[in-house]
Chains A and B, each alone.
Chain A
């Protein structure tokens, strides 16, 4: 399935969610820009968490190599799970900030 098909599917479900939110749930469309802004903040926070996770992971790997004299590969950090976990961290922190 090509890129355009995926984008088309996401556009359809996004439109569906927008219609449900405005027609059924009574949300105001003029609050959507605020929500998009907060989404961008969450993504930015996730990027910072990812950078921190990689930096800490790298420091641990090289520190272990130096102090133990044994080798462990840094490629263990090259895992998509770290990106998703960073996003989760960002979502938690962002939700916490909003709930204060």
Chain B
């Protein structure tokens, strides 16, 4: 039973540290890396969280789209690539049009089921057009793996993470921790299967 008590103590300490200290935020900032915003061939906005049943984007998906739209209007790239589930892509495209982005400037892909497949689909869209330099919009936690996958697919990637500091209330920090653990598991899976 001593082993169980030790394990319980470790879990409790991890919970306390993750919830009541800014450690998760610091890790989030670290994973975001340094944004690298400069003129590129395309802005790639990866999917995240999809859309609700009423067609409204999730918070994270919307944040990414808004950042991508902002980059387009600031003139950093002539193309906006929107990826995600079918509902997410539809909602994003509708919003992008509403924000004044012409249809000719938007490319979409809704066939991917994983981040790896997203990278492959976007490569199929852009590489034949000679568009290799991309501004990659993703959450800080997703950025390292997404960046690695896009580079593996043949792109020159300039990362543009969404807000790096992240939320600071206990519940949201626990959510960040959960996302960190999920991302670590995904990294491990991709390394074990030879994808990265």
- Contact residues of A with B, CB < 8 Å? 1-3, 6-7, 37, 39-48, 71, 73, 75, 78, 80
Tell me whether B20 and A3 are in contact (CB under 8 A). yes
Chain A contacts of B3 at CB under 8 A?
Answer: 44
Chain B contacts of A3 at CB under 8 A?
Answer: 19-20, 169-170
A6 and B178 alpha carbons, distance in the complex (Å): 21
Given contacts A3-B19, A6-B170, contact A39 B8 (CB under 8 A): yes
A41 and B5 alpha carbons, distance in the complex (Å): 4
Besides A6-B170, A37-B5, A43-B7, 11 more A-B contacts (Cβ < 8 Å) are: A3-B170, A40-B8, A42-B8, A43-B12, A44-B5, A45-B4, A48-B4, A71-B113, A75-B182, A78-B182, A80-B178
Is B9 an interface residue when CB atoms closer than 8 A count as contact?
Answer: yes
A12 and B170 alpha carbons, distance in the complex (Å): 18
Is B11 an interface residue when CB atoms closer than 8 A count as contact?
Answer: yes
Given contacts A3-B169, A41-B1, A80-B178, contact A47 B11 (CB under 8 A): yes
A44 and B10 alpha carbons, distance in the complex (Å): 8
Chain A contacts of B7 at CB under 8 A?
Answer: 43-44, 47-48
Given contacts A7-B20, A44-B5, A44-B6, contact A78 B178 (CB under 8 A): yes
Tell me whether A40 and B9 are in contact (CB under 8 A). yes
Query: How far in angstroms is the closest Cβ of chain B from A88?
Result: 16
- Contact residues of B with A, CB < 8 Å? 1, 3-9, 11-12, 19-20, 113, 169-170, 178, 182
Given contacts A3-B19, A3-B169, A7-B20, contact A40 B12 (CB under 8 A): yes
Number of A-B contacts (CB under 8 A): 47
Query: Is the contact region of chain A dominated by helix, strand, or loop, or is it mixed?
Result: helix
Query: How far in angstroms is the closest Cβ of chain A from B181?
Result: 9
From the candidates A41, A75, A80, name the one contacting B8 in the complex (CB within 8 A): A41
Chain A contacts of B178 at CB under 8 A?
Answer: 78, 80
Residue of B whose beta carbon sits closest to that of A47: B11
Query: How far in angstroms is the closest Cβ of chain A from B194?
Result: 15
Query: How far in angstroms is the closest Cβ of chain B from A24?
Result: 28
Residue of B whose beta carbon sits closest to that of A94: B4
A90 and B159 alpha carbons, distance in the complex (Å): 43
Residue of B whose beta carbon sits closest to that of A83: B178
A80 and B178 alpha carbons, distance in the complex (Å): 9
A78 and B5 alpha carbons, distance in the complex (Å): 26
In the A-B complex, the 7 residue pairs with the closest CB atoms: A40-B8, A44-B7, A44-B8, A43-B8, A44-B4, A41-B4, A40-B5
Residue of B whose beta carbon sits closest to that of A45: B4
A78 and B183 alpha carbons, distance in the complex (Å): 11
Chain A contacts of B1 at CB under 8 A?
Answer: 41
